[in-house]
Every structure is written in C-alpha cells, then in structure tokens.
Chains A and B, each alone.
Chain A
Amino acid sequence: MALLAQYLVGGIAAGSLYALVALGIVLLYRTSRVLNFAHGDLATFGTFLAFAALTSAGWPFGTAAAAGLAATAVLGAAFFFLIIRPAKESTLLGKIVITLGLALVLQGGIAVLWGTDTKIFPFPLSDTRVYGVAGVVVSQLSLGSVAIGLALMAGLYGLVQHTRLGLAMRAVSQDATAAQVLGIPVKRIFALTWGLASGLGAAAGILLAPVTLLDPFMMLDPFLKGFAAAVLGGIDSMPGAAAGGLLLGVLESLFAGYVSVRFKTTLAFVIIIAVLIVRPEGLLGQEYKRRV
C-alpha cells in the first residue's frame, strides 16, 4: 500500500510538469492552430538563459528565473510574428515544418552557445532533503515543483476563465475574425498567448533542470510527454491538458513500478495511439468536426 502511494506521489510530481508543458502546447494550438514543435526547445533556451544569469551574471535565483521566463516569452511572441505569420506556406504542414526548423535552430544555437556537456543547475530546493509522511517519502524539490506547477495551473485557469483578458483569449480561439470585428486586439492577444505559453514551458524547464541536469536536449522527452498528455486530454481543452498530464505521470509511474522501467517512455506513445484510435478528440476535448 505504501509502495502504491509512493508511485502515485512520484507520478503526480512528474505529471504536474507534463501538465505545464501540455498547457503551453494546448494554449498555442487553441489560439493560433499551430502545433508548436519548438515548444520544448524554447523552454530549454529559457532555462539556459536563467542558468547563465544565475551562474555567469551572479543574479539571485528569483530574478534569474523571472528574467529567463520573460526572455522566453518575448522570444515566443517574436517567433510567431516574425516567422510563422508572414511565412508564405501557411498550410498546417508548412507551419509544422517551420516550427520543426525553429526547434533545430534553437537546439543548435544552445549547443553552440553553451556546449553539449551536461551542467548542474543550482536550485534553492534540495533533491536530497526528504519528508516522510506515513511511509511515503517526498523530496523537497518534487514537493516544490508540484506546488509551483499547481499554482501556475490555477493562475492560468483564473486568467482564462475569470478575467476580461481571458474572455478575449477564448473569443480569439473560437473565431479570430469575429473577435477582431468585435474590437478585440487580436494581434496583442496572439502575442500574449505565445508569450504566456512559452513562459509556461520555460517554467517547466527550470523546475525540471535540477532533476534532468542541463543539456541542449533536456526538454525533448518532457516535451514529447507533454504532447502525449495534450492528446490524452484533448488538444483544444485546457482542463484536459492538465488532467492528461497528471494522468500520464501517474500511469507512467505505475507502469514503471509494476511492469517495466525500460518501456516507460514507449507507454506514453502507446497511450497516444490508443487514445487517437478510440477517441481522437481526447478525454475532455470537443468532438472533431469539419465543415466541407
């Protein structure tokens, strides 16, 4: 029983980070119909910026993390406006290919700027300091990342569901042209969404960095898991993305604990394919319809 609880706790800790990544992907897809394959690499870039501010410039942790998030947000918005929007090939395939290209550019840029060796990210919370409750052991770090992850999710939910800004975001995601006609500054909403999503990704990156260590490919696996979580929950549903992330984390942890550690990553993709076949719109997504 204690073992099961331990797996559950580990799964939720991993799952809350998957959920953060998934939320970013869903936010972008809902608003601009772009499946952003550069999402993970943007996050890595932000994490490296925070790392540079922390170690080379010697800024305190809070300032460095905030600077990393802000820079990533600006970069994300710039991507959309400078490259994706003006691109000639604006089909779905074209946009996907462009974000794939951006992912390679970022990955290559990070490797050139900081090298491909792994680095240790100094983090104020400790991985080795643990708390035990009823036989279940939780590290300070995973407790902190769950708390920050849930707080960010709650904040995002509040923003989207309970503010005028969130209302405008939802309107733009439903129909950008109609929103424009009603006087919503669509361009600014796009910029904000891209910034917000990229910032969320960077936050996940900074929370992951002390566990996975820092290297140019650190976000590849979490990004793919985030993707899986987004599909699991429904790629246009934000509660779905959060639920999908947590569910995937828990399933993965249970699978690793009771079945096989080696095929842990394969599970995520088996789940994706199974979900896509049985219920392509995901657990909480809207049914996929198309006008002919």
Chain B
Amino acid sequence: MELRQRYEEDLYHVRGALGWTALLGSLAALALLPVLTPGYFLYTASLIAAHAVIAIGLNLLVGYTGQISLGHAGFVGIGAYTAGILAARLGVPWPAALVGAGMVAAGFGFLVGIPALRLTGPYLTIATLGFGIAVNQVLTNWEWLSAGRAGLFLPKLTLAGTRLPDRAIYYLYVIVTLLLIWGAANLVRSHVGRAFVAIRDSDIAAEVMGVNLTVYKTLAFAVSAFYAGIGGAMLAYLLGFLEPQMFTLFESIYYFSMIVVGGLSTIPGAVLGAALLTILPQQLAGLKQYLPLVYGATIVFVMAVDPLGLYGRWLKIKLWFKTWPF
C-alpha cells in the first residue's frame, strides 16, 4: 500500500505512474476514437458524453450529498428546453445557449433545494418525483412555451457559419464533458465536497460541526441541476429535436440506474454507468421489449449483491492485487 505523508498528496487527482498511464491512455483513446471506429459510433459516443454529464451531476447530489432525486429528468428537460428556446426562437449562439441552459436549470435546482432543507429520506424522494412529473406536465401542456407534443426543432451546431461535422461535435462534447469532470473532481476534493459528504453521513452531525446546511444543500441541488441542464442542452443539440415525452419518470429512473450500476459517489463510476446504459439499449435494439426487465434486474442485482457498483468492484479488484498475497 502507498503511504501518504503530506496533505497535498491526499489531494492529487492522479497518483503514480499507473494513474498517469491510465489517464493519458484514456485521453489518447478518446482522441483516436473517430479514426478507429465506424462513423455511427461517434453519435453513440456523443450521447454517452451527454449522459455522463447528467450522471456526474446526479451523483454529486445522490452519491455525495445523499439527497435522493427521482426528478432529475425534470432538470434535464429544463436544460434541454432552455437551450432549444434560446437557440430556435431567439437565435442565441450555441455556447451561450449551453451555459444558459445550465444556469436556468441551476436556478430551478436552487428552488427545489429550498423545500429539500425541511425534507429528508422518503419525503424528499416524493417531492423530487413530484417535481419531475410537474415539469413533464408543464412541458406537455404549456404549448406556447414548449411547442408541446408537436416538438421543438433545434438549429445544427455551427462554427463561424459552417455546420460542424459529426467528428467535430464528438470532440466538442468530449471537451465539455472533460471540463465538467475536472470541475466535479475539484469540487469533491475541496471543502465543499467534504461538506457534501458530511451531510450525507449525518446532516445533524455536519451542522454541529459548522456545515451550513442551508448553503450546502441548496448548493448541491444547484450544482447537480447545472450539470443536468448542460447535459440536457447537449442532448438537445445532438438529437436536434425536443419532445416532452423525452423527459419522463422513466428517464429519471434511467439516469438513476446509471449511477447505481456505475457506482454511487464516484465520478468514474458515473461515467462508466452512463457508457454502459447508453450502449446496452443500442446493442439490445432487437430485444427492445426486454429492456425494462434487464434494467430492473440489473439494478436489483447490483443493490442486493454489490452496492458499490461496477467501479466499486474495480476498486476491490485493484486492492486485491495491491495487497497480494495478503
């Protein structure tokens, strides 16, 4: 086992030669992916990037802060529609629409965070579930705002007037996702991240230790919703079309399963879960009717047998090799 002697060593994101190899290796793989794989996979990869952003945000809220949200599709929908309305109706360029989507979603996250101050456990679950369904209902019925079931079409992503090719969109999405991963990793190791974890482990104890619950709980919701909003905007631009039924309770559960399967309260786990649950439905396209069954069984299996998820399993394997032969 490695020995850490200074506080700074505990803060490093990447440790040792193995860590650097893994990081640079995955960056190289991401950079070379368009060369090595067929064209249609780029679309899947961009979709994974958008889902990963959503999953990381959800994991900050559920995994790190311990606040259950079953209404995350609501935040994703708010982000997607903000980007859609800004881009399609007001002609705002995409970088501003992306940031705007994140900010508007974060605003709603802050608002949902306020009742969350008084609610814990099952009550919070129900309140967030209600929020998600309310957003879906408003998007469906308030046609002036959302164009309802007719759908909202987004302009293509452009740079200086020319349309971006799929490969450029892929690189753009990877860069945005990497920036957000970096942001989340920094947040988690800072005093804010430790305050989140303290709230998860025991909010009363955290308050006694001087963690301001009002600030940090609403902050957790706002940051998580910010990620969901950006992820939603990425989804919106990728698909080019928005419809209220894209943001239902099922999607909330889908995002939730990503972090459960990948690993709660780890960032690589969220990315892993997002990748797996994006690729799996595409590979099982012929068995579409079995999809909910497979999702459900996977969630139950992971929670009943291996609650730390895939990434937790990987950490255990790594530990086994590090401490071998003991």
Contacts and interface: CB of A to CB of B under 8 A. Distances in A.
A17 to B, nearest CB: 19
Contact of B291 (A108, A109, A265): A108
Contacts of A86: 304
A170 to B, nearest CB: 20
Interface string B129-164: 111011001100100000000000000000000000
B141 A92 contact: no
Interface residues of A, number: 47
A276 B141 contact: no
Consensus secondary structure, chain A interface: helix
B115 interface: yes
A272 interface: yes
A134 interface: no
Nearest to B296: A104
A228 B291 CA distance: 28
Per DSSP, chain B at the interface is helix
B134 A270 contact: yes
A275 B142 CA distance: 25
Interface in A133-153: none
Nearest to B67: A93
A86 B303 CA distance: 11
Interface residue tally on B, bucketed by range: 35 or more
A222 B9 CA distance: 54
A66 interface: no
Contact of A97 (B66, B130, B256, B290): B256
Given A101-B296, A273-B127, A292-B204, A89 B291 contact: no
B38 interface: no
Contacts of A98: 299-300, 303-304
Interface of B: 62, 66, 68, 70, 115, 118-119, 121-123, 125-127, 129-131, 133-134, 137-138, 141, 204-205, 249, 253, 256-257, 260, 289-300, 303-307
Interface of A: 29, 35, 83, 86-89, 92-94, 96-98, 100-109, 111-112, 116, 220, 224, 227-228, 231, 235, 262-263, 265-266, 268-270, 272-273, 276-277, 280, 288, 290, 292
